[in-house]
C-alpha cells in the first residue's frame, strides 16, 4: 500500500496552486475527488493555452494526474446534499478559492462539523481568510510583486523581474499539503477536525527567509546581485566561460581552497583580501573580476571536469530541454508517461516526494480525468442508484451532460 491510500480528499480546486498540492497527495495514494463546477465549465486550467482543445490541456494534465473528476454544483440544494454525503465519507475538504469564498460556499469547519466532526477543511487562498486583502484574488505574479521577490530578482538596474516559474503557487501547494496532512493526523488522534487557513501571500512573505530576518533584525536592505550572486557568500554565482555559463559555489572554506587549485591560483587562498568569508565579501569586486577573467579562458565542459574532480559545487546552466534529458533526471524517474485520448503519449513530471524503498512511489500514473469522468462511479460509491442519479441530473446539480464526460442515462 502507498502511504495515503486510506485518505479521501474532496477537492474544490482550480488552476495551479490547489491542483499542484493535491496531485502530490494523489501520487502518495490519497483518493482525490475533484469537484468541478459545471456552470463554470470546470477547472479553468482545462482551457489554458497553448496545447488546449476540447476541455483538455497539457497545463491541466501537469497538475491533475491520478485524480477523479465529478461535476457538481454545490450551490443547488440537490448538489449540496451530494456534497454532504461526500464529506461524510472524507477526511478532508480542500479548496483554493478567493479568501471570502469558503464562507460563501459553506466549506469551512464550522459549516461542515455537524456533517462530519472529523473533517479537515483546508483552504489555500490568495491572501487568507482574514486581513485587509482577504477578498482580493491572488495570483503568483501578483504575490511575487507584493512580497518583494521582484525587487531582488534580475540584474542590478534592470526592470523588476519575476522568477521564471510560478514558485509562489507551487510553494503554497506544498505548504497546503503539509497542513492538510497535519490536520488529518490530529483529527484521527483527537476525533475532531479543524480549519487550515493557508495563503499564497503568507507563503511568499515567509519565503523571504534569512534576508527577511536580516532586514527585520539588523536593517539589511536586500538588493539584486550581478549574475545571480549569493548576497553574502563569495564566490557563489554564475560565471561566463568560453562557450556558455556555469555556476560555481563556495559555501564552505574548503571549497574556496579547492577552487584556487583548480584555477591554478593557489596563492589566492592565502591572499589576505580573500582568506575568509568576511574577507572575500569585503573585497568581492576585486575577487569576482579575477574569477570572471579566469573562467572566460576555457569551455564549460573543461571547467566542469576539473571542478567535479576537485569536489567543488558547480553546474552548467541548463536550458529546460537539457535539464529534462539529464541522466540524473532519468535515473531518478522524474518523468511520468501517460496515454491520453486526445494528446497521445504525454510526458510530464512526477512528484519529488518519496516515501519507502526505491520504486515504491513511482507506480504508473493515471491520466488527468476528463471533466466529470467519474461522476457516476463516485455517486454509486455513495450508494446512489440510477434513478437517484437521473433525478440529480434533471435537477441541474450535475450540470448539462453534453461535454462533461458523463451521461445521466
* Gap between the Cα atoms of 132 and 136, Å rounded: 9
* Gap between the Cα atoms of 49 and 35, Å rounded: 22
Helix (H) or strand (E) holding 85: helix 77-88
**269, exposed or middle or buried, with CB in 10 Å at 0-12, 13-18, 19+?**
middle
* Gap between the Cα atoms of 172 and 201, Å rounded: 9
To the nearest 10 degrees (0 to 180), the angle between helices 77-88 and 386-395 is 130
The single residue of 230, 283, 318, 340 carrying the catalytic annotation is: 230
To the nearest 10 degrees (0 to 180), the angle between helices 167-190 and 17-27 is 50
C-alpha cell at 78: 440537490
Q: Which residue has the cell 497538475?
A: 63
**230 noted as active-site residue:** yes
> Any bridge partners for residue 391, and if so which?
none
C-alpha cell at 96: 483554493
Please choose, from the candidates 120, 123, 121, the residue with its C-alpha nearest in 3D space to the C-alpha of residue 172.
123
Tell whether the torsion through CA atoms of 198, 45, 365 and 373 is positive or negative: positive
Do 180 and 186 form a contact (C-beta atoms < 8 A)?
Answer: no
Return the SS3 of 84: helix
Do 389 and 64 form a contact (C-beta atoms < 8 A)?
Answer: no
C-alpha cell at 366: 493515471
Q: Which residues participate in catalysis according to the annotation? A: 230
Amino acid at each position: 500500500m502507498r502511504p495515503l491510500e486510506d485518505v479521501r480528499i474532496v477537492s474544490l480546486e482550480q488552476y495551479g496552486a490547489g491542483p499542484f498540492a493535491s496531485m502530490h497527495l494523489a501520487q502518495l495514494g490519497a483518493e482525490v475527488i475533484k469537484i468541478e463546477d459545471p456552470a463554470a465549465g470546470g477547472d479553468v486550467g482545462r482551457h489554458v493555452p497553448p496545447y488546449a482543445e476540447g476541455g483538455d490541456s497539457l497545463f491541466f494534465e501537469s497538475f491533475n494526474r491520478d485524480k477523479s473528476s465529478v461535476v457538481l454544483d454545490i450551490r443547488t440544494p440537490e448538489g449540496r446534499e451530494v456534497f454532504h454525503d461526500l464529506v461524510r465519507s472524507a477526511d478532508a475538504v480542500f479548496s483554493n478559492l478567493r479568501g471570502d469564498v469558503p464562507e460563501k460556499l459553506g466549506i469551512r469547519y464550522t459549516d461542515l462539523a455537524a456533517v462530519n466532526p472529523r473533517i479537515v477543511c483546508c483552504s489555500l487562498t490568495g491572501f487568507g481568510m482574514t486581513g485587509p486583502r482577504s477578498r482580493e484574488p491572488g495570483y503568483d505574479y501578483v504575490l511575487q510583486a507584493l512580497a518583494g521577490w521582484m525587487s531582488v530578482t534580475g540584474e542590478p538596474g534592470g526592470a523588476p523581474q519575476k522568477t521564471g516559474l510560478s514558485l509562489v503557487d507551487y510553494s503554497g501547494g506544498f505548504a497546503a499539503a503539509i497542513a492538510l496532512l497535519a490536520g488529518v493526523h490530529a483529527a484521527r488522534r483527537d476525533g475532531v477536525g479543524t480549519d487550515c487557513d493557508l495563503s499564497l501571500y503568507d507563503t511568499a512573505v515567509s519565503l523571504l527567509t534569512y534576508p527577511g530576518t536580516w532586514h527585520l533584525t539588523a536593517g539589511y536592505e536586500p538588493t539584486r546581485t550581478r549574475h545571480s550572486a549569493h548576497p553574502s557568500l563569495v564566490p557563489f554565482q554564475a560565471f561566463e566561460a568560453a562557450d556558455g555559463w556555469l555556476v560555481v559555489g563556495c559555501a564552505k572554506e574548503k571549497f574556496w581552497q579547492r577552487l584556487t587549485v583548480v584555477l591554478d591560483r593557489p596563492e589566492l587562498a592565502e591572499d589576505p583580501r580573500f582568506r575568509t568569508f568576511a574577507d572575500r565579501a569585503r573585497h568581492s569586486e576585486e575577487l569576482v573580476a579575477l574569477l570572471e577573467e579566469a573562467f572566460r579562458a576555457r569551455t564549460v565542459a573543461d571547467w566542469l571536469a576539473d571542478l567535479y574532480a576537485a569536489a567543488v559545487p558547480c553546474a552548467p546552466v541548463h536550458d529546460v530541454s537539457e535539464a529534462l534529458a539529464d541522466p540524473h533526471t532519468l535515473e531518478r524517474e522524474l518523468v511520468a508517461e501517460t496515454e491520453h485520448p486526445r494528446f497521445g503519449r504525454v510526458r510530464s513530471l512526477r512528484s519529488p516526494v518519496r516515501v519507502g524503498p526505491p520504486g515504491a512511489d513511482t507506480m504508473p500514473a493515471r491520466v488527468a480525468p476528463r471533466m466529470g469522468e467519474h461522476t457516476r462511479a463516485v455517486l454509486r460509491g455513495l450508494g446512489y442508484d440510477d434513478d437517484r442519479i437521473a433525478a440529480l441530473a434533471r435537477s441541474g446539480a450535475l450540470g448539462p451532460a453534453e461535454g462533461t464526460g458523463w451521461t445521466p442515462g
